[in-house]
Amino acid sequence: MRRDSLTKFALLSIAAAVATIGLKAAAWRLTGSVGLLSDALESLVNLAAAVMTLAMLTIAARPPDEEHAYGYSKAEYFSSGVEGMLIFVAAVIIGIAAIERLLAAQPLEHVGFGLAASVAASMVNFAVARVLLHAGRRWHSIALEADAQHLMTDVWTSAGVITGVVLVALTDWLWLDPVIALAVAAHIIWIGVGILRRSVAGLLDRALPEHERRAIEAALDPFRAQGVEFHALRTRAAAGRSFVSMHVLVPGGWSVQRGHDVLEEIETRVRDTVANATVFTHLEPLEDPLSYGDERLDRKP
């Protein structure tokens, strides 16, 4: 499947969000639980995030052009960033509603029907989250992974809210419902911080994960045994794409053809090691002192 087909997963997320909003809103209306209200509000965030994910995946699937030679894959980071900010908005709304209910407690009604609707919504979210997480990891899509993580957060949030509603029904401790809603708000803020941090790291051209960098070094070891050296090895991730660049130092007596052949083999090895990698190499002679003046990003004077 091509990456431009990933939009179908965003459409699935939108459909799930619409369904869960209806179920959770019904649960809140039936019971009057502010905890269930907080759960329904988070599903509104899910819907907004899913729409944003669809838009950014559509943009990210565009092929490179003259103005964007490296493609549009970084658009996915905007999706996950907006999702993180929307989580904060939902947390504030939940917190306000919970404090109001804490100051003026109200009994819950029709608990059984409300809980049934909430459980059904959680089952929908869990199933869709598993599908999105699998697709996100397979195709290296941070937008789908963020959406999946948010849906799983929703599942755990719903579990906590449902437990709270059951305890309120059993104990008649009305204060417990808004307290759980506040705990939900704190929890989703934590999730939002994690999503924002990952988005910012991607936009700042953070290096590939350590295990992938170690794998690249291991792929280069056979060439070192042949007398080839490397420096200025740099990596970065751009959502579904990875970029690797390096300077390759070979004996100055080698022919251009031999050096070219080695570079081709190196690039192939790295592409086989890192999924969806674009590899750039620069050939330099081992014996020339100038070859060692550009180990950093900016060449030394």
Task: Looking at the structure, tell me whether residues 232 and 281 fall in a common domain.
Answer: yes
Mean pLDDT of 224-228: 91
pLDDT at site 149: 77
Which residue is associated with the tokens 């660049």?
A: 245
pLDDT in tens, 63-82: 888 888 877 877 888 877 87
Task: Looking at the structure, tell me whether residues 145 and 241 fall in a common domain.
Answer: no
Task: Looking at the structure, tell me whether residues 242 and 171 fall in a common domain.
Answer: no
On whether residue 264 sits in a domain, the answer given is: yes
Task: Looking at the structure, tell me whether residues 36 and 151 fall in a common domain.
Answer: yes
Task: Looking at the structure, tell me whether residues 194 and 51 fall in a common domain.
Answer: yes
CATH number at residue 87: 1.20.1510.10
Tokens of 73: 């894959």
Which of the listed residues 149, 178, 203 is the one where a domain comes to its end? 203
Which residue is associated with the tokens 């070859």?
A: 291
Those residues whose C-beta lies under 8 Å from the C-beta of residue 65, and which sit 6 or more positions away, are none
* 3-class DSSP state of 100: helix
Mean pLDDT of 253-269: 94
Task: Looking at the structure, tell me whether residues 52 and 89 fall in a common domain.
Answer: yes
On whether residue 300 sits in a domain, the answer given is: no
What confidence tier does 2 reach under pLDDT thresholds 50, 70, 90? low
What confidence tier does 35 reach under pLDDT thresholds 50, 70, 90? low
On whether residue 123 sits in a domain, the answer given is: yes
Task: Looking at the structure, tell me whether residues 165 and 21 fall in a common domain.
Answer: yes
On whether residue 299 sits in a domain, the answer given is: no
On whether residue 297 sits in a domain, the answer given is: no
pLDDT in tens, 165-220: 777 777 877 777 778 778 877 877 887 787 788 778 777 778 888 999 999 999 99
**Which domain covers residue 42, as residue numbers?**
3-203
Which of the listed residues 203, 226, 254 is the one where a domain comes to its end? 203
Task: Looking at the structure, tell me whether residues 56 and 198 fall in a common domain.
Answer: yes
pLDDT in tens, 145-166: 878 877 887 787 777 777 777 7
pLDDT in tens, 105-121: 666 665 677 778 888 88
